[in-house]
């Protein structure tokens, strides 16, 4: 804890210093990308992740990161450096994340971050897409007799994290229902779970995927349930610094490639064998047709490497979210062709 | 002539030049970083400014001493955080001082048990990192406290539960008249005291000031209750059911467990250092002073109160000022347990929502600087007052 407080105060200072010393990204519209050059020079992608959210970005005992957010960074590394493992992960709290990105400490932020207007437009950030459609929900104790948000009454206490959109949604929700509530906002997810588990608050609110993941950390997971209502839209996606259009495109299309690959049935095991496919869209994906990589200053196999080394979106979802029991049902995170809302512009 | 004025041989110039160069170098470094920051923020489309302070904060805060909800501005949220920081610091300093003085004196007690208990207390609490103590008081105590439906009741008017300590709320009519009468009482006491001092010094007459002061303090406000329409009623907390198994208390005032845990941890920790200062101060008074006091027939308590303490204070105050400053700064650890102090509310949530790291961190640093300097100024004034007056 003390470390995290120190870290973000340091980040505050770092922003003073780094913003001062760092060099401006390549101007918008130019073909040159300072971030791309620096990444190639360093030999790894600087990626900001969460401090541990199962399914999204979580480190195992030996420090290996995995999750669908982590896979975005791995895809960028595969595209740019040819090796998905060449990523340096920086765990960040909700509060530290944007400062770390704008100050240049990291180049890609893949940390279950909600895309909102003010974040996109106001503070020097650019969201490049959505890799998980989420929504905010509530968790309560099963024996509480609360079965819907309509059962909430005046005086209820709700725990959540500071510095997140959930804090704002929570207020909008309770205000719209005209319910007075006691908001208790902690800095780290672990403390929210501990306080809720102890009975300090009656409900715990955050993104539904987060609730599902955190429930596994409770002393007795079966005693808790997530209410059916979703009170907000939480499109989570990777973020880059404003002002480096080429880098922005690389990250955006690394994510899009994973989703498009699933759409065309290209996966990590069959990708290389599809080089001579009949379908031109597939041929473009595996790099045997067109010169798409040149647009970013990359070679033509960039997308093939992503699919081979990281896999398509469906593989990533299955491995990290479905098979871990967090959210077995893909819900809105299904391809548009299968009833979901995953729809990416064509790679051509 | 002029040349000589600035030459190496001129002692004044020799002393001055290095200082001027240092100041100039420092200034240019600051200006260099400031302009660079400005250029880079411009490149990244980040604007600099304090206009955000007037924007709607749109987040709620658990505990506030002034009226606040999410429709107020970030500036107001800053004020809420600042007041909460001041509140926990004042409570912490108050209890740390009392506990510190008691423990410090106890360590010098002739009673073996008391001295040993005090020693153990100091050695344990000053050697465990504060953040762990805060977590201990919060999470351990939280788990030990009962849920609202089984709350620990004090005469059915106050309840201690995991959700907080619910106490009766004071509802005043004509509070301002009552406060004015209190001020009047204090002014009266001041004049009584100075009159008594004068009587004692001039005529050797002893006037029982403690008794008279106490009566004044009770009588004058009592008159306002009887004749001036001041009244006080209480609103008691009442158990309220929110669902089959969820309860809370409605009415009354809730003292949140975060505040209790933080104040407890801060005062227990800082008291150990103050206790050592007190012990050092008392031991620092010459043995001859006590013997002389004893020889003119003062008893043990009188020796401590009239001879030892006034001299010991001169030794105690300066290092204790440091402890007060530490306590105030340490209160920023509040963020760990969700106590809405300035760091959590302003340098935390507001920073996150606005993304204005440089502005918010600078404001927060300046605020702590101002708080610390205010405490320093007050303590220096008190120190001067207590110092030996050379006539």
| Span A155-212, pLDDT tens digits | 899 999 887 788 889 999 999 999 999 999 988 888 899 899 888 999 999 989 889 8
Q: Which of the residues B352, B356, B358, B363 would you substitute to probe the A interface, choosing the one with the greatest number of A C-beta atoms within 10 Å?
A: B352
B99: left (phi over 0), alpha (psi -120 to 50) or beta: alpha
CB contact (8 A) between residue B348 and residue A162: yes
CATH topology match: A32-133+236-338 vs A136-232: yes
- pLDDT at residue A17 is higher than 70: no
- The minimum CA-CA distance between A45 and chain B, rounded to whole Å, is 20
Between A340 and A4, the more confident residue is A340
- Give the residue-averaged pLDDT of B193-203: 85
Residue B325's CB: how many other CB atoms inside 10 A? Answer: 18
Instruction: Find the range with the poorest average confidence among A297-301, B40-44, B387-391.
Output: B387-391
In whole angstroms, give the CA distance from residue B355 to residue A159. 23
Residue A281's Cα: distance from chain center in Å? 27
Question: Which ranges constitute the DSSP H helices of chain A?
Answer: 2-21, 34-42, 68-81, 97-102, 117-122, 165-176, 189-198, 208-215, 245-263, 280-285, 302-309, 313-317
Tell me the pLDDT of chain A averaged across its residues: 87
Residue B174 is given by DSSP the state S
Q: Which residues of A touch B340 (CB under 8 A)?
A: 185
DSSP3 helix / strand / coil % (chain B, rounded to 5): 70, 10, 20
pTM tops 0.90, yes or no? no
| Choices 3.40.50.2000, 3.50.50.60, 3.40.190.10, 3.40.120.10: CATH for A32-133+236-338 | 3.40.190.10
Residues 6+ apart with CB under 8 A from A101: A48, A107, A109, A125, A239, A240, A241
- The minimum CA-CA distance between B161 and chain A, rounded to whole Å, is 9
Residue A60 is given by DSSP the state -
CATH code for B74-127+266-386? 1.10.3720.10
β pairing state of A203-207 and A156-161 = parallel
Grade residue A13 by pLDDT with cuts at 50, 70 and 90.
low
- The minimum CA-CA distance between B368 and chain A, rounded to whole Å, is 14
Q: How much of chain A, in percent, has pLDDT values that exceed 90?
A: 55
Q: Which residues of A touch B59 (CB under 8 A)?
A: 167-168, 171, 183, 185
Instruction: Find the range with the poorest average confidence among A1-15, B87-101, B340-354.
Output: A1-15
- pLDDT at residue A94 is higher than 90: no
Grade residue B81 by pLDDT with cuts at 50, 70 and 90.
very high
In angstroms, the Cα distances linking A329 to A324, A325, A333, B144 are 12, 9, 9, 39
Residue A31 is encoded by which pair of tokens? Answer: 């073909």
Q: Which residues of B touch A175 (CB under 8 A)?
A: 70
Residue of B nearest to A116 (CA): B353
CB contact (8 A) between residue B358 and residue A19: yes
β pairing state of B246-250 and B238-243 = antiparallel
CB contact (8 A) between residue A124 and residue B356: no
Residue A21 has a pLDDT of: 44
Closest CA to A205 of B238, B60, B95, B245: B60
Q: Which of the residues A163, A189, A204, A219 would you substitute to probe the B interface, choosing the one with the greatest number of B C-beta atoms within 10 Å?
A: A163
Grade residue B365 by pLDDT with cuts at 50, 70 and 90.
very high
- pLDDT at residue A28 is higher than 60: no
- Give the residue-averaged pLDDT of A247-270: 94
Grade residue A24 by pLDDT with cuts at 50, 70 and 90.
very low
Residue A335 has a pLDDT of: 95
Residues 6+ apart with CB under 8 A from A10: none
- pLDDT at residue B206 is higher than 90: no
- For chain A, give every domain's residue range: 32-133+236-338, 136-232
In whole angstroms, give the CA distance from residue A219 to residue A214. 11
> In degrees to the nearest 10, what's the CA dihedral of A128, A129, A133, A137?
20
Q: How many CA atoms lie within 13 A of B53 on its CB side?
A: 12
pLDDT digit string, tens, across residues B297-312: 888 888 888 888 888 9
Residue A19 has a pLDDT of: 45
Give the nearest partner residue to A242 out of B44, B245, B351, using CB atoms: B44
Residues 6+ apart with CB under 8 A from A5: A187, B332, B333, B335, B336, B343
Q: Which residues of A touch B242 (CB under 8 A)?
A: 152-153, 155-156, 202
Question: Which ranges constitute the DSSP H helices of A286-344?
Answer: 302-309, 313-317
Residue of B nearest to A182 (CA): B62
Between A279 and A26, the more confident residue is A279
Q: Which residues of B touch A186 (CB under 8 A)?
A: 337-338
Q: Which of the residues A30, A145, A185 would you substitute to probe the B interface, choosing the one with the greatest number of B C-beta atoms within 10 Å?
A: A185
Tell me the pLDDT of chain B averaged across its residues: 87
Q: Which residues of B touch A95 (CB under 8 A)?
A: 348, 351-352
Q: Which residues of A touch B336 (CB under 8 A)?
A: 1-2, 5, 187, 191
Grade residue B356 by pLDDT with cuts at 50, 70 and 90.
confident
Give the nearest partner residue to B240 out of A16, A146, A155, using CB atoms: A155
CB contact (8 A) between residue A119 and residue B257: no
ipTM for the complex?
Answer: 0.77
Residue A25 has a pLDDT of: 38
Closest CA to B310 of B274, B281, B275, B277: B281
Residue of B nearest to A95 (CA): B352
Q: Which residues of A touch B344 (CB under 8 A)?
A: 162, 185, 187
> In degrees to the nearest 10, what's the CA dihedral of B71, B76, B80, B82?
160
Q: How much of chain B, in percent, has pLDDT values that exceed 90?
A: 40
- pLDDT at residue A313 is higher than 90: yes
Q: Which of the residues B138, B243, B256, B269 would you substitute to probe the A interface, choosing the one with the greatest number of A C-beta atoms within 10 Å?
A: B243
Q: Which residues of A touch B332 (CB under 8 A)?
A: 5
Determine the 3-state secondary structure of B172 from DSSP. Answer: strand
Between B211 and A78, the more confident residue is A78
CB contact (8 A) between residue A164 and residue B344: no
Q: Which residues of A touch B46 (CB under 8 A)?
A: 102, 123-124
- For chain B, give every domain's residue range: 2-43, 74-127+266-386
Residue B278 has a pLDDT of: 94
CB contact (8 A) between residue A191 and residue B143: no
Grade residue B4 by pLDDT with cuts at 50, 70 and 90.
low
CB contact (8 A) between residue A243 and residue B143: no
Q: Which of the residues A123, A125, A181 would you substitute to probe the B interface, choosing the one with the greatest number of B C-beta atoms within 10 Å?
A: A123
Question: Which ranges constitute the DSSP H helices of B284-356?
Answer: 287-295, 300-302, 309-330, 342-344, 351-354
In angstroms, the Cα distances linking A50 to A189, A294, A318, A335 are 10, 32, 20, 26
- Give the residue-averaged pLDDT of A140-155: 91
- pLDDT at residue A123 is higher than 80: no
- The minimum CA-CA distance between B315 and chain A, rounded to whole Å, is 33
- The minimum CA-CA distance between B377 and chain A, rounded to whole Å, is 27
User: Phi and psi dihedrals of B234, rounded to 5?
Assistant: -115, 145
CB contact (8 A) between residue A151 and residue B43: no
Determine the 3-state secondary structure of B137 from DSSP. Answer: helix
- Give the residue-averaged pLDDT of B109-133: 94
CB contact (8 A) between residue A243 and residue B59: no
Q: How much of chain A, in percent, has pLDDT values that exceed 70?
A: 91
Give the nearest partner residue to B245 out of A15, A144, A162, using CB atoms: A144
CB contact (8 A) between residue B338 and residue A186: yes
| Choices 1.20.140.10, 1.20.59.20, 3.40.190.10, 3.40.50.620: CATH for A136-232 | 3.40.190.10
Residue B174 has a pLDDT of: 77
Size of interface A-B (CB pairs under 8 A): 177
């Amino acid at each position: 804890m003390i470390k995290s407080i120190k870290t973000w105060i340091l980040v505050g200072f770092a922003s003073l210093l780094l913003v001062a010393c760092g060099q401006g990204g390549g101007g918008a519209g130019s073909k040159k990308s300072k971030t791309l050059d620096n990444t190639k020079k360093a030999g790894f992608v600087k990626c900001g992740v969460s401090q541990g959210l199962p399914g999204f970005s979580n480190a195992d005992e030996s420090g290996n990161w995995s999750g669908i957010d982590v896979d975005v960074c791995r895809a960028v590394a595969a595209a740019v450096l040819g090796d998905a493992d060449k990523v340096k992960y920086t765990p960040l709290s909700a509060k530290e994340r944007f400062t770390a990105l704008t100050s240049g400490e990291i180049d890609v932020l893949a940390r279950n971050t909600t895309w909102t207007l003010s974040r996109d437009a106001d503070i020097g950030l650019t969201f490049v897409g959505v890799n998980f459609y989420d929504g905010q929900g509530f968790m309560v104790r099963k024996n509480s007799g609360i079965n819907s948000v309509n059962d909430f009454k005046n005086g209820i206490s709700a725990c959540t994290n500071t510095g997140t959109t959930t804090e704002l949604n929570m207020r909008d929700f309770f205000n719209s229902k005209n319910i007075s509530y006691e908001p208790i906002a902690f800095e780290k997810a672990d403390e929210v779970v501990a306080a809720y588990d102890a009975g300090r608050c009656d409900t715990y609110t955050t993104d539904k995927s987060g609730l599902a993941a955190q429930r596994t950390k409770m002393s007795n997971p079966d005693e808790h349930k997530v209410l059916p209502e979703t009170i907000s839209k939480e499109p989570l996606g990777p973020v880059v610094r404003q002002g480096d259009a080429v880098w922005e495109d690389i990250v955006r299309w690394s994510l899009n490639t994973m989703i498009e690959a699933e759409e065309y049935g290209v996966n990590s095991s069959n990708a290389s064998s599809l080089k001579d496919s009949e379908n031109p869209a597939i041929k473009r994906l595996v790099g045997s047709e067109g010169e798409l990589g040149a647009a970013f200053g990359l070679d033509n196999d960039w997308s093939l490497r992503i699919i081979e080394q990281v896999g398509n979106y469906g593989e990533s979802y299955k491995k990290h979210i479905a098979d871990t029991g967090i959210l077995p049902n893909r819900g809105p995170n299904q391809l548009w062709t299968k009833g979901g809302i995953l729809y990416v512009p064509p790679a051509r | 002539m002029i040349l000589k004025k600035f030459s190496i041989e001129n002692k004044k110039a020799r002393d001055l030049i290095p200082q001027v160069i240092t100041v100039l170098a420092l200034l240019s470094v600051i200006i260099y970083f400031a302009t660079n920051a400005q250029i880079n923020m411009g490149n990244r489309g980040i604007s600099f400014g304090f206009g955000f302070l007037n924007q709607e904060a749109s987040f709620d805060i658990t505990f506030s001493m002034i009226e606040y909800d999410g429709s107020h501005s970030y500036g107001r949220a800053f004020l809420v955080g600042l007041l909460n920081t001041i509140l926990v610091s004042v409570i912490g300093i108050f209890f740390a001082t009392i506990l510190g003085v008691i423990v410090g004196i106890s360590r010098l007690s002739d009673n073996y048990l008391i001295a040993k208990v005090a020693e153990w207390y100091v050695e344990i609490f000053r050697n465990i990192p504060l953040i762990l103590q805060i977590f201990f008081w919060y999470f351990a105590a939280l788990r030990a406290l009962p849920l609202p439906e089984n709350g620990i009741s004090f005469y059915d008017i106050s309840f201690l539960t995991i959700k907080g300590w619910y106490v009766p709320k004071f509802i005043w009519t004509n509070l301002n008249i009552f406060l004015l009468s209190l001020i009047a009482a204090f002014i009266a006491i001041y004049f009584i005291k100075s009159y008594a001092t004068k009587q004692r010094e001039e005529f050797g007459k002893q006037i029982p000031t403690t008794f008279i002061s106490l009566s004044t303090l009770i009588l004058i406000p009592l008159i306002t209750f009887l004749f001036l329409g001041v009244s006080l009623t209480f609103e008691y907390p009442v158990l309220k059911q929110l669902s089959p198994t969820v309860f809370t208390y409605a009415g009354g005032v809730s003292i949140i467990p975060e505040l209790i845990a933080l104040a407890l941890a801060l005062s227990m920790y800082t008291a150990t250092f103050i206790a050592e200062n007190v012990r050092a101060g008392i031991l620092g008074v010459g043995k001859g002073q006590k013997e002389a006091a004893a020889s003119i027939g003062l008893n043990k308590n009188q020796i401590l109160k009239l001879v030892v303490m006034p001299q010991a204070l001169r030794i105690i105050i300066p290092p204790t000022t440091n402890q007060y400053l530490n306590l105030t700064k340490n209160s920023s650890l509040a963020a760990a347990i969700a106590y809405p102090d300035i760091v959590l509310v302003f340098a935390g949530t507001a920073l996150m929502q606005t993304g204005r790291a440089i502005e918010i961190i600078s404001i927060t640093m300046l605020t702590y600087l101002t708080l610390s300097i205010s405490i320093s100024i007050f303590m220096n004034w008190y120190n001067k007052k207590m110092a030996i007056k050379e006539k």
